[in-house]
Amino acid sequence: MSFEEEIGLTPPMAERMERRGDVLCMTASKERFADLVATLHQAGGRLISLHAADERARAGAFSLHAILDLSGRLVEVKCMVPDGTLLQSLVPRVHSANWYEREIQDMFGLSFQGHPDPRPLVLYDDWPQGVFPLRKDFEPSVKVPRAPREYRFRRMEGEGVYEIPVGPVHAGVIEPGHFRFSVAGEPIMALEVRLGYVHRGVEKLSESTPYHKGVFLAERISGDNSVAHSTAYCQAVERLSETSVPERAEYIRTVLLEMERLYTHIGDIAGIALDTAFAVPAADGYVLRESVLDLNERLTGSRLLRSINAIGGVNKDIDREEAAKVLSRLVDLRQRFERLAATMLASNSMLDRVEGTGVLSWERAQQLGCVGPIARASGINMDVRRDHPYAAYRDMSFQVPVRVSGDVDARTRVRMDEVRESFAIIEQALDGMPGGPVRSDVKAIPPGRTAVSLVEAPRGELMHWMISGEDAPFRHKVRDPSFCNWLGMEVAVRGNIVPDFPLINKSFSLSYAGNDL
């Protein structure tokens, strides 16, 4: 049975199919693109990304790409789109395509017929119409004239209904984001999130950044996910160049990825304790996070594990003596973490705040394409480390924690379980690390190749996708996990009271910078 028959593509919707590495690439006409992607989605394909590239100079049109995960098989669907073409929106059939299509509209000027919410997503309110930053003819060094216009928030009207605007400037050390609540008394009827205030044009900048310098750019996309982003970037370039990474370097990357997961999750757990006014475990958690950051610095010279990844491997080895010291410190860190977790879960007053609060159902998490701990807390059993192994994860033994209640309690417990698994993975990687070099020479990169790289960041599935250019990416698409999870939070807060919003927000642990590329 052919692949098309297996998933029900009858008559065939793809004009061409070929395999590139572990990705099945399908080409469709612009008329059949939406139907093909929707059919793959109905067959169980989960939308990983939907994005565009400006290939008018060499192909006379834009290209539109959909990346899906179909039962552990990566599928990329592509179509060519002449300028001015009105495309059929996927959103009525694939709800998770919502923000992707709005982003493409903002950055490339492609329009989607039938999209339920065609408002701007990324661009500032005073960005002039008809100027599209990711087109090749956009010059980023030229100042763009501003043309103020009003952004139309969704409005709920009725007796006793009123709005609470929060942000974008917040009281405290927090990135900018605007939250517009519609409430009737204290219960939240609806929430709309408005982001983009720290958009830096990372994808445009990457097009003029040589590959070897792109690692440093990737590390700065989201500060507390430096290793995850740099690993995804390096893997994409290594696939473009068909460069083999030494096995020892793969093990070191695994250690660093899990160290990053440790301090991120422990900080989130401490934040949840703080937002329930449970001050003592919150303080213990932040002290523990600081201990992990200190261990990072002792191990690599960087608290946030920067400048360690390199294309072709890593810049620093972990010798036997360093590994023994790390393993010794992990014993103490694990014991302190178990005391923290036991204290939090033994408190009835804390459990009363988190159980049943901010529920995101399996159905809604699935429809919105949520990823990471948010998806797993709602019963979605997915993890890139297991489903699409990279680095040394295929050699590691670990469990993927899954809960089904979808509330703050579930998201907290998933993170606690993941911390335990991270301790175990680090120990396995350090104990079983093979000998050999930690970096290999990078081969030449022919222009016009494509590559997709997935990494399980602390917040969930992270994607870097590239078309190779001469000395830098021709097109570099980054999809941070927070891009998939913000809409999930809008749903989770409904029916809860306003004072519970900070707790729900903390349990989602969303990145503004990661979203505002």
**For residue 20, what is the domain's CATH number?**
3.30.460.80
Q: What is the mean pLDDT of residues 375-391?
A: 98
The reported pLDDT for the residue numbered 3 is 56
Shared domain check, 251 and 188: no
Shared domain check, 10 and 78: yes
Q: Does some domain include residue 140?
A: no
Shared domain check, 317 and 190: no
Q: Does the pLDDT at position 302 exceed 90?
A: yes
Q: Does the pLDDT at position 21 exceed 90?
A: no
The reported pLDDT for the residue numbered 15 is 77
Q: Does some domain include residue 132?
A: no
Shared domain check, 411 and 355: yes
Q: What is the mean pLDDT of residues 80-86?
A: 92
- Kindly report the average pLDDT of the chain as a whole number: 94
Q: Does some domain include residue 137?
A: no
- Range scoring the smallest mean pLDDT among 141-145, 256-260, 276-280, 418-422: 141-145
Q: Does the pLDDT at position 10 exceed 60?
A: no
Shared domain check, 308 and 175: no
Closest to 302 measured CA to CA, from 310, 313, 289, 292: 292
Percent of the chain at pLDDT exceeding 70? 98
- Per the structure, the complete domain to which residue 44 belongs is given by 3-113
Q: What is each CA distance from 134 to 53, 62, 165, in whole angstroms?
A: 8, 11, 31
What CATH code is carried by the domain that includes residue 245?
1.10.645.10
Shared domain check, 172 and 54: no
The reported pLDDT for the residue numbered 13 is 74
Q: Does some domain include residue 127?
A: no
Q: What is the mean pLDDT of residues 10-16?
A: 69
Percent of the chain at pLDDT exceeding 90? 85
Of 113, 131, 147, which residue is a domain's last? 113
Q: Does the pLDDT at position 130 exceed 80?
A: yes
Shared domain check, 86 and 208: no
Shared domain check, 208 and 190: no
Burial class (CB in 10 A: 0-12, 13-18, 19+), 351: middle
Q: What share of the chain is helix, strand, coil (3-state, %, to 5)?
A: 45, 20, 40
Shared domain check, 241 and 171: no
Shared domain check, 322 and 240: yes
Of 139, 170, 194, which residue is a domain's last? 194
Residue 12, Cβ neighbours under 10 Å: how many? 14
Q: Does some domain include residue 144?
A: no
pLDDT digits (tens, 9 = 90+) for 188-239: 999 999 999 889 999 999 999 999 999 999 999 998 999 999 999 999 999 9
Per-residue pLDDT band at 313 (split at 50, 70, 90)? very high
pLDDT digits (tens, 9 = 90+) for 227-286: 999 999 999 999 999 999 999 999 999 999 999 999 999 999 999 999 999 999 999 999
Q: Does some domain include residue 147?
A: no
**The tokens 């093990």 sit on which residue?**
251
Shared domain check, 355 and 493: yes
Q: Does some domain include residue 130?
A: no
Shared domain check, 216 and 171: no
Q: Does the pLDDT at position 371 exceed 90?
A: yes
The answer to whether residues 206 and 476 touch, using CB atoms and an 8 Å cutoff, is yes
Our count of domains for the chain comes to 3
pLDDT digits (tens, 9 = 90+) for 334-369: 999 999 999 999 999 999 999 999 999 999 999 999
Per-residue pLDDT band at 465 (split at 50, 70, 90)? very high
